[in-house]
């Protein structure tokens, strides 16, 4: 069975612009956070990206990463949210 | 693996449709605090509550942050105080000191409400029960966060009409004591028939004697999510309608189950139940009445409302039970007036009356909730309204409740502000004819024939 623990979903929503993915990925690389999956699309005219990442190897705790990513989003002009994967698993999988 | 559309759907529910966990409530047993000395009793109660619930708010906030789901309230319920204070309290004033202790403990741990200033008197009142009931006006008006409930009836025992009569007077007492603030303290008092032991919602939460030492209950919400889902199936038949509600309720409840499990693990307190209730707030798009309108009624209260609500309530449960291992509490759609913008609109349009609300309580949880009535309503009339509601619960073997707010100095046409999640309410007319002779008979109404199942 797939191990479900400690996967985190990062969502990035906002106006499309150059370098959003690069900036987010740079942050993740700098903090030793491994990206497991990325998908990106445009929903109702807005840039939407979802990343599944593994925070186990991160040097910082969840709350700190979440806060820093949120601040990074503020700088780029997009909303960045970190949530543990279980909330989506619970809602969409039986 | 989870895909982007599923993530988008969940976050849309949270950000745009007011999906939240309405409350994490820790039930705390105070049975081991009982003492014959009042001061010792109060000390023990304070210590037990503040030590058991010390991390509740912190853990609640952690879960909110990590899962990205708002948890609106963190609350505490305790063993009915009439049972706990009986040995120490000689007067109603003695009981009121326990309310002050509960209030102080709630403030210390940072919860916004604490329930359990309660008495269970469905068959008869002990001296302690009666003293606690008589202390309710002082207890509620002298504290900020304490909630009180009294169980007046059950299917097994019938209706304690002496207590029903007394509660009419007590409710007016609370209204009178908080008259400068539009009698708002009445919203912290509710009377029940068949009160559940594990209800996480206020004002009626208390920690029943059948429960463990401490236990976590979670109340979910999400009328906005159901309403939005139904917008997509306008004009479709009842099968599609019911399927849609059921699926949505499943998703909403799963979030509650997750939060309950996490809270239980982190606080190391056993998980009790998830309460599957559609609990509205005055926020736009967070209304049960709006769901009824989406189902096809011009206003809540129009002919067909009871049927629509019955259907809604049933589908919420059917979707919800599949989503959680333990379901309990009140579990159903709430139809408070002041806390639901759609319901307030219905009252303003004269689409709904007290009598129609009463009919609606036959098919949903919980009862006549957050209804402002004229301040000059007689105590016996209030008791009559309560007795009707108790009879519905008793005969239908379900929980019913009444939370009425007689607003002293105001009448039909006036509006009363409760503030925050409690909203505001236009004062509703009450049937002017008397039931005094009925209420004054005294004694109790026997249990109905279908309660004899042994």
pLDDT(B423) > 90: no
Asked if the structure places residue A64 within a domain, the reply is: yes
Q: Is A81–B10 a contact, with Cβ atoms under 8 angstroms apart?
A: no
Is A24 in contact with A92 (CB distance < 8 Å)? Answer: no
pLDDT band at A45 (very low <50, low <70, confident <90, very high): confident
pLDDT score, position B129 = 97
| Residue of A87, A89, A93 to mutate when probing chain B, most B C-beta within 10 A | A87
pLDDT score, position B354 = 95
Q: Is A91–B11 a contact, with Cβ atoms under 8 angstroms apart?
A: no
Is B82 in contact with B74 (CB distance < 8 Å)? Answer: no
Chain B residues with CB under 8 Å of a chain A CB are 1-4, 6-11, 62, 65-69, 251, 254-255, 257-258
| Arithmetic mean of pLDDT, B406-410 | 96
pLDDT(B251) > 90: yes
pLDDT band at A2 (very low <50, low <70, confident <90, very high): very low
Q: Is B68–A87 a contact, with Cβ atoms under 8 angstroms apart?
A: yes
Of the candidates B3, B7, B66, the beta carbon closest to that of A84 is on B66
CATH code at position A66: 3.30.70.260
pLDDT band at B422 (very low <50, low <70, confident <90, very high): confident
Distance from CA of B256 to the nearest CA of A (A): 10
With 0-12 / 13-18 / 19 or more C-beta atoms within 10 angstroms meaning exposed / middle / buried, residue A15 is exposed
Q: In this complex, how many residue pairs, one in chain A and one in chain B, have their CB atoms less than 8 Å apart?
A: 64
Chain A residues with CB under 8 Å of a chain B CB are 2, 9, 11, 37, 39-41, 43, 48-50, 52, 62-63, 66, 81-92
As beta bridge partners, residue B229 has none
Residue A39 tokens, joined: 């998908």
What residues make up the domain containing A73?
7-91
pLDDT band at B284 (very low <50, low <70, confident <90, very high): confident
| Arithmetic mean of pLDDT, B319-345 | 90
Angle, to 10 degrees, between the axis of helix B238-267 and the axis of helix B305-323?
50
pLDDT score, position A3 = 44
pLDDT band at A5 (very low <50, low <70, confident <90, very high): low
Q: Give the DSSP per-residue string, B202-248.
A: SSS----TTS-SEEEEEEE--HHHHHHHHHTTTT--HHHHHHHHHHH
pLDDT score, position A4 = 42
DSSP label of B197? T
* Structural class in CATH, domain B22-193: alpha beta
As beta bridge partners, residue A34 has A54
Distance from CA of A92 to the nearest CA of B (A): 7
pLDDT score, position B2 = 87
Kindly report, residue by residue over B119-143, the tens digit of the pLDDT.
Answer: 999 999 999 999 999 999 999 999 9
Asked if the structure places residue A23 within a domain, the reply is: yes
* Structural class in CATH, domain B219-451: alpha beta
Asked if the structure places residue A2 within a domain, the reply is: no
In percent, the amount of chain B with pLDDT more than 90 equals 89
Residues of chain A contacting residue B14, judged by C-beta atoms under 8 Å apart: none
Query: How many other C-beta atoms are found inside a 10 Å radius of the C-beta of residue B144?
Result: 13
Specify the residue for token string 């806060």. A67
Specify the residue for token string 């559309």. B5
- Whole-number average pLDDT of chain B: 94
| Arithmetic mean of pLDDT, B262-278 | 93
Give chain B's radius of gyration (CA, Å).
Answer: 21
In percent, the amount of chain B with pLDDT more than 70 equals 100
Kindly report, residue by residue over B166-209, the tens digit of the pLDDT.
Answer: 999 999 999 999 999 999 999 999 999 999 999 999 999 999 99
Least confident of A6-10, B166-170, B260-264: A6-10
Of the candidates B2, B4, B254, the beta carbon closest to that of A85 is on B2
- Please tell me the total count of domains within chain A: 1
| Arithmetic mean of pLDDT, B337-352 | 93
ipTM value, please give it.
Answer: 0.88
DSSP label of B34? -
Is B30 in contact with B233 (CB distance < 8 Å)? Answer: no
Q: CB under 8 Å to B450, separation ≥6 — which residues?
A: B397
pLDDT(B263) > 90: yes
| Residue of B4, B274, B321, B322 to mutate when probing chain A, most A C-beta within 10 A | B4
Residue B453 tokens, joined: 């199942």
As beta bridge partners, residue A82 has A10
Please tell me the distance from the alpha carbon of residue A17 to that of residue A75, in angstroms, as a whole number: 12
pLDDT(A1) > 50: no
Q: Is B2–A63 a contact, with Cβ atoms under 8 angstroms apart?
A: no
| Arithmetic mean of pLDDT, B80-97 | 97
pLDDT score, position A14 = 92
| Arithmetic mean of pLDDT, B216-238 | 93
Please tell me the distance from the alpha carbon of residue B278 to that of residue B220, in angstroms, as a whole number: 7
Please tell me the distance from the alpha carbon of residue B179 to that of residue B191, in angstroms, as a whole number: 21
Residue B299 tokens, joined: 């206003």
Of the candidates B1, B65, B255, the beta carbon closest to that of A90 is on B255
pLDDT band at B32 (very low <50, low <70, confident <90, very high): very high
pLDDT band at B42 (very low <50, low <70, confident <90, very high): very high
Domain with CATH 3.20.70.20 in chain B: 22-193, 219-451
Asked if the structure places residue A1 within a domain, the reply is: no
């Amino acid at each position: 069975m797939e191990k479900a623990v400690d996967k985190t979903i990062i969502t990035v929503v906002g106006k499309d612009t150059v370098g959003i993915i690069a900036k987010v990925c740079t942050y993740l690389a700098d903090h030793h956070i491994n990206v497991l999956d990325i998908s990106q699309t445009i929903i109702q005219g807005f840039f939407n990206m979802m990343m599944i990442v593994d925070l186990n190897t991160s040097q910082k705790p969840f709350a700190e990463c979440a806060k820093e990513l949120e601040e990074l989003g503020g700088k780029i002009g997009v909303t960045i949210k970190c949530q543990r994967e279980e909330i989506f698993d619970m809602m969409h999988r039986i | 693996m989870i895909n982007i559309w599923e993530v988008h759907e969940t976050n849309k529910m949270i950000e745009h449709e007011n999906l939240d966990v309405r409350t994490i409530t820790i039930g705390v047993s105070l049975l081991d605090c009982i003492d014959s000395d009042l001061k010792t009793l109060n000390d023990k109660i304070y210590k037990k509550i503040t030590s058991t619930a010390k991390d509740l708010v912190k853990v609640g906030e952690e879960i909110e942050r990590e899962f990205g789901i708002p948890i609106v309230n963190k609350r505490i319920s305790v063993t009915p105080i009439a049972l706990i204070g009986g040995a120490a309290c000689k007067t109603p004033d003695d009981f009121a000191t326990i309310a002050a202790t509960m209030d102080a403990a709630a403030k210390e741990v940072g919860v916004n409400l604490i329930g359990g200033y309660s008495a269970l008197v469905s068959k008869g009142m002990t001296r302690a029960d009666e003293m606690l009931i008589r202390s309710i006006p002082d207890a509620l008006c002298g504290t900020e966060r304490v909630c009180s409930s009294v169980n007046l009836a059950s299917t097994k025992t019938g209706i304690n009409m002496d207590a029903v009569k007394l509660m009419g007077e007590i409710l007016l007492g609370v209204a009178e004591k908080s008259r400068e603030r539009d009698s708002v303290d009445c919203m912290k008092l509710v009377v029940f028939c068949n009160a559940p032991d594990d209800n996480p919602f206020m004002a009626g939460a208390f920690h029943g004697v059948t429960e463990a030492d401490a236990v976590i209950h979670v109340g979910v919400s999400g009328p906005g999510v159901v309403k939005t889902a139904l917008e997509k199936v306008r004009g479709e038949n009842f099968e599609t309608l019911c399927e849609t509600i059921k699926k949505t309720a499943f998703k909403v409840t799963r979030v509650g189950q997750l939060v309950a499990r996490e809270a239980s693990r982190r606080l190391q307190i056993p998980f009790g139940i998830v309460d599957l209730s559609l609990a509205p707030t005055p926020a736009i798009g967070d209304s049960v009445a709006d769901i009824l309108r989406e189902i096809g009624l011009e206003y809540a209260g129009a002919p067909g409302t009871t049927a629509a609500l019955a259907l809604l309530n049933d589908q919420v449960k059917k979707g919800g039970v599949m989503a959680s291992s333990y379901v309990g509490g009140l579990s159903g759609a709430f139809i408070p007036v002041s806390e639901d913008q759609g319901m307030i609109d219905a009252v303003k349009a004269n689409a709904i009356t007290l009598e129609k609300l009463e009919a609606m309580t036959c098919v949903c949880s919980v009862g006549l909730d957050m209804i402002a009535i004229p301040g000059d309503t007689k105590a016996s009339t209030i008791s009559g309204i309560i007795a009707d509601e108790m009879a519905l619960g008793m005969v239908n073997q379900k929980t019913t409740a009444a939370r009425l707010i007689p607003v002293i100095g105001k009448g039909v046409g006036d509006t009363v502000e409760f503030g925050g999640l409690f909203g505001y309410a236009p004062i509703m007319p009450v049937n002017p004819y008397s039931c005094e002779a009925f209420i004054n008979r005294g004694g109790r109404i026997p249990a109905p024939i279908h309660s004899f199942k042994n």
